[in-house]
Each structure stands twice: as structure tokens, then as C-alpha cells.
Amino acid sequence: MDNIVGKKSGLTWAVHISMAVLVALWLFPTLGLFVSSFRTADQISSSGWWSALSTQERQVPAIRVGGDEVEVDGRFVIEGRLFSATDATLSAWGTTSTAPEANAPGDVVELNDGVTLTVAEDGAYVLSSPVTTEGTRLPRIFSTATTPPEFTLENYRAILFEPSNTDGMSRAFFNTLTVTIPATIIPILVAAFAAYALAWMDFPGRALLIAAIVGLLVVPLQLALIPLLKLHNDIGIGKGYLGTWLAHTGFGLPLAIYLLRNYMVGLPRDIIECAKVDGASDFQIFTRIILPLSFPALASFAIFQFLWTWNDLLVSLVFLIDSTGQTTVMTKQIVELLGTRGGNWEILATAAFISIAVPLLVFFAMQKYLVRGLLAGSVK
Amino acid sequence: MAELKLKNVEKAYGEVKVLSNINLDIKTGELIVFVGPSGCGKSTLLRMIAGLEKITGGDFSIDGARMNEVPPAQRGIAMVFQSYALYPHMTVRDNMSFALKIAKKSQAEIDAAVAKAAKILQLEPYLDRLPKALSGGQRQRVAIGRSIVRDPKVYLFDEPLSNLDAALRVATRLEIAQLKESMPNSTMIYVTHDQVEAMTLASRIVVLAGGGISQVGTPLELYERPRNEFVAQFIGSPAMNLMAGEVIGTGAQTRVRLANGGEAVSNVPTLAADQGLKVNIGVRPEDLVATSGPAIFTGAVEITEALGEVTLLYFKRAGADAQVVAKLPGIHTDVRHKTVALGADPAKVHLFAQGQSLLYR
């Protein structure tokens, strides 16, 4: 009696709650990476990314008064500014580390020997002394300032467009594209033909072939890495893009054929028979009927394969990256960055976001093809 | 212009023969309807003619040329599928021109053929729509249009109306009848399980049952002179009443004493040797009339169904016979539980011995 109209079963709620949890699990780290990649190292170390969007109050590191001394009306005056940002607002200041917020902006504080110091709200300070301060140690100013949200593209510039930066991601980015695009297209091309034959052409041994492909689905990739590399070296491919494409194609094909074959076999038999009566050959049926109708399946497998090759490290390490480092991919580059720039969160966040930006883009651009049913209206 | 000849055609899946001994000559311009109960092989036979199923025995020829091994596209046939089988990603125009494009016809020729078919089927406003933007009846017309443009020798229809609602079915049935009128030289084969479609459309009906042909004939032949009990009961609604009995008088007219105590006279002639033969008499519900003379059946009305134009009377079962049904014109609501004596015109009483009509021996 759970499915009476108007009553929601516990299962529905469980589904909704787990959906919300999944979305949160996915969304928050992504958003955090995205926001962090636009912040400076200082901002990242002083506050979390979630506070980056609001005005924040923070203590500015102590700054020692300095500058040229000018004699005005018998007093020696030094003027200067605490921070260059004009839109920061001073909320409190002090001259000792024990009381960094002792004074309000505008207060005139008498230090020793008739020396006075005042700091205005905009960070301008005036030190006034009856005798020359030359040769003496000038005071330090501790201040607390509120700064509005501030974002910078500097991280991206440094990582992508700085030619002198050996840790840059631009080369790795294009290398990854070079691996990924053919490694997505080749298996789809091969698998679509194979899937049509396995789904709709009658030939002896078809069932055995399908069973073999299902069997290949469960072969672990690690098992084949070294034998394949040896094979590549023996036949002269060696390490390089060609070998990587072949490896990705090989590892992707069983799933591709299996997915596409299952999709194609579900297409209405009548449509294919009708095309046969209309005089179409198998190749024409494939290109004119099956391929357009299989577009959702092709797109969904393309997304899978693209993401998997984009995020791949293992296959690239084995088949592509050599000692010159010219063919490094992004995953490898991020691993390197973790070692050499482990403390620079802004660099790591930016690099990580660059590497997930393309998959995100691909997913959002293609997801309507995953959802859309092309079959509406063909058969009753 | 096509004559189809099926000679001892059979279909077997492994050891199991689903169709055997199919002999049929179809002449140019005929509209042949295959009817039969579910699973009798009528669609299979149509698909064998189309070339979508292998013919495992016998010969099939069109215009004298053997077609058993010829692929579907070269048989000169066009088929309308039950599910329409429109190409969902193509517009109506592309759907209709697909076959011509495959055949590498010129664009002008294609346009002319599509325009002509669209005009016949009143599809002109929809040519640039996708199938999903059409109603069921329009989709069906597109499916028919797709076969018209090819100008085939033989049209094959596989239950084309079964997905339409009742009103649309009647309208489309009339359209198909008109289409046939406008193309007197085309041969059509039409599969249905709906006997109204069969009776109204067919120039000849082929009744299939039990893996073979039960009877071939014009609709009225099948109705008036069924060859066997199966055809007698399959054609006509409600089904013909069958009552067991024994021949007690032979000659130009036959007298039968029925197991239920009644007595029937039939115009079916019998021989003297038939005296005492166990037979079933068959009387259609619409041929049973109330009588004051000798009755075929006397019984109490159990249920009445008033349909307006006619009233169906269901009688209490008597003996081993199936329930007797009578169909009276007009509305009769007051006969329930009354006992009625029923008789019939001897010309309307059929005789069957061992399932076969005595008319045909």
C-alpha cells in the first residue's frame, strides 16, 4: 500500500536525500577550487574560500614606519601609507604586538620624547617628532583592516601564460588534449561498426564474440601494461602518442562495443527491416539510420571515454611520458607540482581547476544528449 | 502489375513447422487479406513474401520469377509496418524519399513522387515535420505514403490499423479502400485479425489456422459457405452456433435430430449412406428466429445485451453444446428468463461432419 497517490514512500525520501548529499559532495570541492584559484597566497592562508565573497577584517602584518623626513614648523615629520589598496579601511591600530588594536583611526598617540603618531582610516600615517629621528629605530604599526572581496587572474597568468615558468601547465594542457581527442574518437569509430554488426547482422559465432567482449570487460588494465609496452617497443612504436592512443583504444573498446551494441539492439527491428525493404544496404542502414539514432549512446560513451582518458595518469606514464618531459600530461604535471610547490595552494588550486575545467565543460555541453530521447515518434 | 504464386510454401524454425502446404495464387489487382487467430502465422507469411523471413520450403514467385532467395529490395514490394517504422530522425519528406534516394533517383523525380503521394494522402502541410510531431493517423498515412512513392508491384500491409483508435480506424480503413480503388493495377496483401477489416476491404480472404490455409474465398463465400467449423466460427460475430446431432433424413434436404432434443432441417444435400451420421449443425446468431413450429433449440434466455440496432440473447446451456446465442434486430429487454423456441431457414443451416462442411465433399 506504499504507492497510494499522494503518499511518498520512505524510499523516495532516501533518494532525494542521497541526491542532495551527492550534489553537495560534488559541488563544494569544485566551487572551493574555483574560488581559491582566483585568490592570492595571502588570502588563502588567512581565510577560507567561503569568506572570499564577503568583506573581511583581518590583521595586517606589522609595518615599520619609514620614509623621508621633512621639517615642518620646527618638527620633523614622516608621512606614508600602510597599504596601497585604496579601498581597504583601517578599523584599529597599535604600536605594540601586545596591543595591536589599542587605537582607533585618527587617534593621535604620544610615543616617548614628544614623538606623536597618527594613522588615518585610509591607512595614511603621520609621525611627528621634535628632534630628528634619523639614526633612531622607528616604531612599528600593527593594524587591523577590512578589505572588500578581491580576486586576481594572476594565478592563471602565471600557470598558463608565463613562458619562463617551468611548472607551467600550458604544454601539459595541450599534450593532454593531444592524447584525449584521438583516444575518444578512435574507439567510438571502431566500436560503432562492431556494435552494429553484433546487434543486427547475422553471422556464425556472433554470440561467442559478444560473450568474449563481455569477458574482456573484466580484464584489469594493469595486467596488460607491461606486455603491451614490450610489444610497442618491439614493433617500433616505442613511447609516444600513437602508442597511447592505441592503448586507450584497446582498453576502451570492450565497454564501448558492449554499451553501443546493447543500445543498438534495442532500436526497433521494424525500422531496420523497413530500411531493408526500402533497398538500403547494411552500410547505408548503419550510416543513415543507426548512427543518427544511436547519437545519445555515442555521446554518453564519448563522455565516459573522454573523462577517463583526460584523468588518466597510469596509461600516460607507461606509454607516453619519457625522460625529456616534453610529453608530460596534466595529471603528471599536478603530481610534480605537489612535490615542488606543495605549499603554494594558489598554484595547486589553479592547476587543479584547469584540469577539471574541460571535463566540466564537456559534461555540461553534452548532457542534454544523455537525457534526450531521439526515438520519440518512430513507433507507436 | 504482379501475380504472386505460392506453391507448397512452408516455414520451419528448426524442427518446428509453423506454416506448411501454403498454396495460393494472387492475381493482379487483388486485395488479399490474411486473417486468423493470434499465432497462426499470418504475419510470418507476409514477412516471407516481403523477404524478411526465409522461406524454408516450396516456391514463391512474382510474375513467374522465383523470389525465394531474392533480397527484399529487389522483389518490387513495399511494406507498411504495424508500428509504422518511420525513421524518427527524418522529416516526413525525407521518410518518403528515403527509398528513392537509396535507389539513386534524380531529385526532380523524387520531388514529383513525394508531391504526388503527399497529395493523395493529404500530407502536404506536414512534409517538413518530424514523425514525433504527427498524430497516429498522420503517421500511418506517412507509412503508406512511403510505400506509394516507390510505385511497387505489391503492397504489403501488416496490421496497419491496429494502433489506431476506433474512429480513426474506420476512417483510415475507408482511405485504404479508396486508395485501392485509385490504383486498380496494384496488388495488395493485407494482414489483420479484425474480421470487419477483412470483410470490408478484401477481394479475397485467406483464413489461416493451425499452420495452414483453412479457406480462401471472397468475403461472402466465407460467410455463406464456410468450408469448416473453424472458418464458420471465425467469420461473423458473435460466432456461429454449433449443435451436435445425428442425421435422420437424407436427400436434397437433410433432417437432423439434435442432442438437445430439437430438430433441424438444412438445405445441404446428403446421401442415403449418411443416415445416422454424427454431425454438428451450424446456425449464425442472426439466422435464429422465434418459431411456433418444430424448434432447433428451446431454452430460457439467461442474459440479454441490447446494442441498439440488435439485441444479443444468451441462452442457458443445454447438454454438451456451447452456449447458444441469438441476434434479434431491434431492442428486446423483456425477454430475459423467458423460454423461447428458435428455428431457422433451412438455407441458413450448415452441416459439419468431423469439422468439415458437408457442402464441399
Q: Which residues on chain A are in Cβ contact (under 8 Å) with B172? A: none
What is the distance in angstroms between the Cα of B44 and the nearest Cα belonging to chain A?
14
- Contact check, Cβ <8 Å, B77/A374: no
- Chain A residues within an 8 Å CB radius of B82: 270
Tell me: do B318 and B201 sit in the same domain: no
Predicted confidence at residue A377, as pLDDT, reads 42
The interface pTM score, or ipTM, of the predicted complex is 0.84
A-chain residues near B132 (CB < 8 A): 376-378
CB contact under 8 A, A378 and B88: yes
Name the closest residue on chain B to residue A380, using Cα atoms: B83
Grid cell at residue A131: 628632534
B86 chain-A contacts, CB cut-off 8 A: 271, 377-379
Q: Which candidate, B206, B128, B133, B141, places its Cα nearest to that of B168?
A: B141
Chain A residues at the B interface, defined by Cβ less than 8 Å, are 268, 270-271, 273-280, 284, 288-289, 292-293, 374-380
Non-local CB neighbours of A112 within 8 Å, separated by 6+ positions = none
CA atoms within 13 A on the CB side of B333: 3
Which CATH number do you get for residue B218? 3.40.50.300
Q: What is the pLDDT of residues B29-43, one digit of tens each?
A: 999 999 998 888 899
Beta carbons within 10 angstroms of residue B66's beta carbon: 12
A199 vs B330: CA distance, rounded Å: 58
Beta-sheet pairing, B241-249 with B310-315: unpaired
Q: Which among B167, B196, B231 is the end of a domain?
A: B231
Facing residue for A276 by CB, picked from B73, B89, B103: B73
Q: Give the number of domains in chain B.
A: 2
Average pLDDT of chain B is: 91
DSSP B112-124: HHHHHHHHHTT-G
Residues of chain B neighbouring A376 (CB-CB closer than 8 A): 88, 132
Q: B338 and B268, same structural domain?
A: yes
Q: Chain B residues within 8 A (CB-CB) of chain A?
A: 50-52, 71-74, 77-79, 81-89, 98-99, 102-103, 130-134, 136, 139, 146, 150, 163
Distance (Å, whole) CA A14 – CA A192? 38
Q: Classify burial at B227, counting beta carbons within 10 Å of its beta carbon; exposed 0-12, middle 13-18, buried 19 or more.
A: buried
Ramachandran class of A289: left when φ > 0, alpha when ψ lies in -120 to 50, beta otherwise: alpha
A167 has pLDDT over 90: no
Residues of B in contact with A292 (CB under 8 A): 89
Q: Examine the domain organization and report whether B133 and B217 are in the same domain.
A: yes
Classified as helix, coil or strand, B74 is: helix
Longest CA–CA span in chain A (Å) reads 109
Q: Which of B172, B199, B231 is the last residue of a domain?
A: B231
**B201 plus B220 within the same structural domain:** yes
Q: Say if the Cβ atoms of A377 and B88 lie within 8 Å.
A: yes
Q: What is the pLDDT of residue A107?
A: 82
pLDDT in tens, A22-53: 999 999 989 998 988 888 887 787 778 888 77
C-alpha cell at A199: 546487434
Domain shared by B203 and B97, yes or no: yes
Written as nine digits, the cell of A214 is 563481455
Q: How many helices (H) and strands (E) does chain B have?
A: 8, 21
* Residues B316 and B179 grouped into a single domain: no
Q: Provide the pLDDT confidence category of residue A95 given band limits of 50, 70 and 90.
A: confident
B/e letters for A31-46, b = 16+ CB within 10 Å, e = fewer, are ebbbbbbbbeeebbee
Residues in chain B, how many?
361
> Is B236 a member of any domain?
no
Same domain as B107, residue B198? yes
Give A69's DSSP letter.
Answer: E
Place of cell 587591523: A144
Q: CA angle, corner A78, sides to A75 and A83, nearest 5?
A: 155
CA dihedral A345, A350, A355, A360 (to 10 degrees): 120
* Cβ within 8 Å, pair B88-A277: no
Q: Is A268–B83 a contact, with Cβ atoms under 8 angstroms apart? A: yes
A16 Cβ contact list (under 8 Å, min separation 6): none
CB-neighbour burial class of residue B202 (10 A; exposed 0-12, middle 13-18, buried 19+): buried
pLDDT band at A3 (very low <50, low <70, confident <90, very high): low
Q: Quick one: B146 and B284 in the same domain?
A: no
Q: How many whole angstroms separate alpha carbon B138 and alpha carbon A376?
A: 15
Helices (H), A201-344: 206-217, 222-234, 241-265, 269-277, 282-284, 291-293, 295-310, 314-319, 330-340
Is residue B169 domain-resident? Answer: yes
Give the model confidence (pLDDT) of B231-249 as tens digits: 999 998 899 999 999 999 9
Name the residue in chain B with its Cα closest to that of A284. B102
How many other C-beta atoms can be found within 10 angstroms of the C-beta atom of residue A55? 13
CB neighbourhood size of B178 (10 A): 11
Cell of A25: 559532495
pLDDT band for position B81 (cuts 50, 70, 90): very high
At B265 the pLDDT is 92
CB B204 within 8 A of CB B30: yes
Pairing of strands A75-81, A124-129: antiparallel
Per CB-CB distance under 8 Å, the chain A contacts of B133 are 377
B102: distance to nearest CA of chain A, Å? 6
**Can you say how many angstroms the Cα of residue A232 is from the centroid of all Cα atoms in its chain?**
32
SS3 A352: helix
- The shortest CB-CB distance from A380 to any of B83, B87, B146 is to B83
Query: Which residue type is seen at A346?
Result: E
Per-residue confidence at A153, pLDDT binned at 50, 70, 90? confident
CA distance B156 to chain A (A): 11
Are residues B54 and B184 both part of a single domain?
yes
pLDDT tens-place string over residues A267-287:
999 999 999 999 899 999 999
If you search the block for the grid coordinates 443416415, which residue do you land on? B275
Res A116: pLDDT: 84
What CATH number is attached to the domain comprising B286?
2.40.50.140
Contact state of A377 with B139 under an 8 Å Cβ cutoff: yes
Which residues constitute the domain of residue B290?
A: 241-360
Share of chain A above pLDDT 90, in %: 31
Instruction: Cell 506454416: give the residue.
Output: B19
With CA atoms as reference, the chain B residue closest to A274 would be B85
Please state, in angstroms and rounded to a whole number, the distance separating the CA atoms of residues B1 and B14: 35
Is the pLDDT at B258 greater than 80, yes or no? yes
**B155 DSSP β-pair partners:** B78, B188
State whether A270 and B73 contact (CB < 8 Å).
no
B318 and B272 assigned to the same domain: yes
Q: Give rounded-to-5 percent helix, strand, coil for chain A.
A: 55, 15, 35
Give the C-alpha separation, A351 to A355, whole Å. 6
The answer to whether residues B189 and B258 belong to one domain is no
Cβ-defined contact of B82 to A270 (cutoff 8 Å): yes
Whether the predicted pLDDT of A7 surpasses 70: no
Residue in A274, A279, A284 closest to B85 by CB? A274
Residue A347 near residue A338 (C-beta atoms within 8 A): no
Contacts of A293 in chain B (CB under 8 A): 88-89
CA B225 to chain CA centroid, Å, is 15
When computed from its CA atoms, the radius of gyration of chain B, rounded to whole angstroms, is 24
Residue in B closest to A291 by C-alpha: B89
Cell numbers 526515438 correspond to A375
CA distance to A73, A308, A317, A327, A341, per residue, from A331 (Å): 66, 12, 10, 12, 15
Residue B314: its pLDDT value, please?
92
Q: Nearest-5° angle of CA B141, CA B147, CA B149?
A: 100
Do β-strands B263-266 and B254-258 pair in parallel, antiparallel, or remain unpaired? antiparallel
- The one-character DSSP state at A138 is P
User: Order of strands, edge to edge, in the sheet holding A56-64?
Assistant: A56-64, A140-147, A89-94
Contact A295, A343 (CB under 8 A): no
pLDDT in tens, B97-126: 999 999 999 999 999 999 999 998 889 999
B77: helix, strand or coil? strand
Last residue of a domain, one of B208, B231, B254: B231
pLDDT at A100 over 70: yes
Is residue B79 a contact partner of residue B51, using CB atoms and an 8 Å limit? no
Contact B250, B271 (CB under 8 A): yes
Cell readout for A277 is 525493404
The whole-number pLDDT of residue A86 equals 61
- 3-class SS of residue B76: coil
Which of B52, B91, B149, B157 best probes binding to A when mutated, by most A CB atoms within 10 angstroms? B52
Is residue B43 assigned to a domain?
yes
A270–B81 C-beta distance less than 8 A: yes
Minimal C-alpha gap between B241 and chain A (Å): 37
Q: Quick one: pLDDT at residue A374?
A: 44
Same domain for B213 and B271: no
Residue B97 distance to chain A (closest CA, Å)? 10
Mean pLDDT of A57-84: 78
Residue B337 C-alpha, separation from nearest chain A C-alpha, in angstroms: 43
CA distance A277 to B74: 8
A227: helix, strand or coil: helix
| C-alpha to C-alpha distance for B109 and B105, rounded to whole angstroms | 6
